[in-house]
Amino acid sequence: MNSVQSMRRFQLRHRTREALYGYGFVLIWIVGFALFTFLPLIQTFFYSMNQVTVQATGIELVSVKWANYSRALFTDPNFVQLLIEYVVETIVSVPIIVIFSLMIALLLNQKFRLKGLFRTIFFLPVVIASGPVIRELVAQGATSVPGITNTSAVAEFLLTLPSSLRNPVQYLLTSFVLILWFSGVQILIFLSSLQKIDRSVYEAAAIDGASGWEAFWKITLPSLSTTTLIIAIYTIITLSHFSENKVIQYIYSNTYAVQGGIGYASAMSFAYLFVLVLLLAIVYVPSAIGAKRRAS
């Protein structure tokens, strides 16, 4: 009896120790998030409700309540137009990046020579795509296909499209290289998930007469459903804080403008955050509902 009780106490102490280790690792992130993200968010929201004036003696705040938000969403046509373009470009870019990443991951998961070299090549843009480098590449036109929309055939094709589809298609044609530039991390995530699928499942499917195409749709894709959701969310966030994002550049240009300043820029930042959260919800909620239905 005493041995059983001592064993239970040992297991309890072991679980407590493991829990403390886990909380210790999480605590580092919580403290960092609170200091460098949550508190600045509260301060930014407070600024968005005020007219902020930076003076030599300090920061002067004059409460304007929701006037900055009203101006950003109903008075400033440039900001609203940039938000619409951001939503459209994100909706166009995310499926292309996800599909391209999956295709490359499937190819890199095969057995062939110099596989490590090709993996490095596809991940290389992630390493060099820092702010100054990508800014210089965009300025030189290296991230787009030059002159593709200037050809007569493409120009006529764009004119035949409805106005609601013309801008997304034009963005896709001119920024296709830049879209694929963001696929490095996604390829690695897909690749690691593909390597975790049990090969015996494919062998059993082949014995039952399933073709490679059927195995892809009935084994590979269902096994990658969670990974696909994670990659879609990661891609949206990556595109949203990209240094060459026009919305971010517009907000930054208004930070110290005479008309508006920090308060107006803060209001635009929260409006932009709301649109970002809405896009993430559009991606996440249907996946969560589908997962619950499959589980039930």
CATH number of the domain enclosing 279: 1.10.3720.10
Kindly list the distances between the CA atom of residue 102 and the CA atoms of 108, 183, 284, in Å, as whole numbers in the listed order: 10, 9, 19
Place of tokens 């004059």: 62
Residues with Cβ within 8 Å of residue 220, at least 6 apart in sequence? 106, 194, 197
Give the number of domains in the chain.
2
- Looking at the domain assignment, is residue 152 inside a domain? no
Q: According to the model, what pLDDT value does residue 225 have?
A: 86
Do the domain assignments include residue 136?
no
Whole-angstrom distance, CA of residue 66 vs CA of residue 48: 8
Q: Which domain, by its residues, includes 260?
A: 68-129+182-295
> In this predicted structure, what is the pLDDT of residue 188?
84
The pLDDT, as a whole number, for residue 270 is: 92
What pLDDT is attached to residue 141? 59
Task: Look up tokens 């030059």; give the residue.
Answer: 146
pLDDT at 155: 62
- Max CA distance (Å), the chain: 89
134 within some domain? no
Tokens of 296: 């039930």
58: left (phi over 0), alpha (psi -120 to 50) or beta: left
What lies within 8 Å, CB to CB, of 202 at 6+ separation is 215, 219
Domain annotation covers residue 15? yes
225 inside domain: yes
Q: Is 142 inside any structural domain?
A: no
- What does the pLDDT read at residue 271? 92
* pLDDT less than 50: residues of the chain: none
Q: What pLDDT was estimated at residue 275? A: 92
What is the pTM (predicted TM-score) of this model?
0.77
The predicted pLDDT at position 185 comes to 82
Alpha-carbon span 63 to 10, nearest angstrom:
59
Instruction: Give just the sign of the alpha carbon dihedral 204, 208, 211, 216.
Output: negative
Q: Within this chain, do residues 7 and 76 fall inside the same structural domain, yes or no?
A: no
Q: And the tokens for 3?
A: 């041995």
> H helices then E strands: how many in the chain?
16, 2
Q: What pLDDT score does 24 carry?
A: 84
Q: What are phi and psi of 208, to 5 degrees?
A: -80, 0
What integer pLDDT is reported at residue 276 of this predicted model? 93
pLDDT at res. 171: 66
Same domain, 219 and 113: yes
53 lies in a domain?
A: no
